[in-house]
Amino acid sequence: MLTFLLGRLLTVVLPTLFGVSLLVFSVMRLIPGDFVDILIGVGPDVSQAQRDQIARSYGLDQPLPVQYLRWLGNTLQGDLGRSLQSGRPVRAEIAARVPVTLELAALATLFSLVVALPAGLLSAVRRNGVVDVVARFVALIGLSIPNFLLGTLLILFIALRWPVLPTNGFVPLSEGLWPNLRSLILPSISLGALLAAAVMRMTRSALLEELGREYLTVARAKGLAGRAVVLGHAFRNALIPVVTVVGIQTGYLLGGTVIVEQLFAIPGIGRLALDAVLARDYPLVQGTTLFVAAVFVLVNLLTDLIYSLIDPRVRTS
């Protein structure tokens, strides 16, 4: 197990994180215009001497590899620079937003599992029945509808008609559980619909495969009731591929948060990244993208890990 983990770390995770850091660093140097201008922003009249001093203080007079290594060193120590807009450390800005996005992503995952697992189970057990046909159709729509369209429709048809659910805005948990949950229900559905559709499909097809296996015949033959066979044997095994889907898609949830947080005006990481791009706050762009990519890579590693725990064959291959 440990060798598997170490192997993944050395061959995939570290090179990828290195590539990510290199990419984010170069992107910031590729931006049109002089980096000093960007740091100063529009407005103040700055003499050449002052410009040189700024360039020196940011290490911009050094060769690029040196600049990269310095930046990497700072980043690894958790120093991501300061936001050009607020002047606050980028790390603090990110830390303030993480819990919001985390809650949104967790609720979206919860929503999709609560909807998709029973739907997939019923679909497979009553194959081609009413539930199956409806669930498959809904899943197809769920896979095709962009999250910002679904969110807009939810606002139009639910929030505007049923004021219990707000059209936008976020209420922190400190102001009460229900107001907090209420403000995240529609965003979670918009974000989780796709995951729900993917999980439903995977549960269904994995369960159908398991239901056709011989060990189920054995289980039935020894007298187990139908329900016990399906739930106790087939469903448990069918969950193995479902775990992977959830893992992979949880990474994609992170990308979805950019849009959903913007649509519902939720102050999470995604919105922070987008605002940073729109305001050309480059240290913040750098910090947020680096953070999200790192989380994405770690979630994938975690998925591999869980998968290898459930299915030992993965470790040897």
* Counts for the chain of helices (H) and strands (E), in that order: 15, 0
12 binds other proteins (CB under 8 A): yes
Candidate segments 30-38, 59-67, 182-190, 231-239, binder of other proteins by CB under 8 A: 30-38
- With respect to other proteins, which residue has the nearer C-beta, 16 or 85? 16
Q: Which of 101, 120, 285, 304 binds other proteins (CB under 8 A)?
A: 285
Query: Does 32 participate in binding other proteins (rule CB under 8 A)?
Result: yes
> How many Å apart are CA 41 and CA 47, to the nearest integer?
14
Contact, 295 vs 252, CB < 8 A?
no
The answer to whether the Cα torsion of 208, 209, 214, 218 is positive or negative is: negative
Work out how close the CB of 251 gets to other proteins at its nearest, in angstroms, rounded to a whole number. 7
Among the listed residues 253, 292, 263, the one whose alpha carbon sits nearest the alpha carbon of residue 90: 292
Count the Cβ atoms, other than its own, within 10 Å of residue 136.
18
Contact status, residue 238 vs residue 210, Cβ threshold 8 Å: yes
Q: Does 179 bind other proteins (CB under 8 A)?
A: no
Selected range binding other proteins among 85-93, 98-106, 181-189, 257-265, rule: CB under 8 A: 257-265
The string of DSSP codes covering 221-248 is HTT--HHHIIIIIIIHHHHHHHHHHHHH
Q: Quick check: 201 binds other proteins (CB under 8 A)? A: yes
* Region of 13-21, 42-50, 74-82, 222-230 interacting with other proteins (CB under 8 A): 13-21
> Could you please report the per-residue DSSP string of 88-104?
SBHHHHHHHHHHHHHHH
Binders of other proteins in range 107-146 (CB under 8 A): 140-141, 143-146
Determine if 53 is a binding residue for other proteins (CB under 8 A). no
**Residue from 5, 208, 224, 265 binding other proteins (CB under 8 A):** 208
Q: What is the nearest approach in angstroms of other proteins to the Cβ of residue 232?
A: 22
148 near other proteins (CB under 8 A): yes
Sign of CA dihedral 99, 104, 110, 113: negative
CB 198 within 8 A of CB 249: yes
Q: How far is the CB of 307 from other proteins (least distance, A)?
A: 14
Residue 78 near residue 92 (C-beta atoms within 8 A)? no
Give the contacts of 125 (CB within 8 A, at least 6 positions apart): 207, 211, 230
Task: Report the residue number, 149 or 231, with the smaller CB distance to other proteins.
Answer: 149
* 249 counts as binding other proteins under rule CB under 8 A: yes
Which residues sit at the interface with other proteins, rule CB under 8 A?
A: 12, 15-17, 19-20, 22-24, 27, 30-32, 140-141, 143-146, 148-149, 152-153, 155-156, 160, 194, 198, 201-202, 204-205, 208-209, 245, 248-249, 251-252, 254-256, 258-259, 262, 273-274, 277-278, 280, 285, 289, 292-293, 296-297
